[in-house]
Amino acid sequence: MQGPKKFPVRTCIACRAEKPKRELCRIVKNADGIFLDATGKCAGRGAYICRSEECAKKLVQKKLLSRAFSEPVPQETYEKIEADLRTLCGDAQ
Ligand SMILES: [Zn+2]
């Protein structure tokens, strides 16, 4: 028997919606810094966000990465991730 719970589910840090992991973008923090993990396979601590412009905006405005990773995140990092999210979101449409 197969059920919908078969797929791993993660919570978007912006809107708190629970979605299948593969529908979300992964942001990772490791020794290289904090960046958008397009492959979803980078080692490190991960946070998940919807592929939506609304959630990307919220992420930047509310500084949600600082909360997710429990440390201050520079504005440049937010801008880079927002730009990368936009690129990725565009591909997903
Ligand atoms: Zn979201």
- 11 CA to middle of ligand 1, Å? 8
CATH number of the domain bearing residue 40: 3.30.1230.10
- Three-class DSSP category at 19: strand
**Ligand 1 centroid – CA 53 distance (Å):** 9
pLDDT of residue 54: 93
33 phi and psi angles, rounded to 5 deg:
125, -155
Question: Is 47 a domain residue?
Answer: yes
Structure tokens at 76: 């440049």
Residue 36's pLDDT is 95
Structural domain for 75, as ranges: 8-92
Contacts of 3 by beta carbon, 8 Å cutoff, 6+ apart: none
In this prediction, residue 92 carries a pLDDT of 46
Tell me how far apart the alpha carbons of residues 14 and 62 are, in angstroms, rounded to a whole number.
9
CA of 4 to the centre of ligand 1 (A): 20
38 domain-assigned: yes
For residue 14, tell me if it sits in a domain.
yes
Give the pLDDT score at 81: 95
Domain count, the chain: 1
**Residue pLDDT tens, the chain, 93 long:** 555 567 899 999 999 999 999 899 999 999 999 999 988 889 999 999 999 989 999 999 999 999 999 999 999 999 999 999 988 765 544
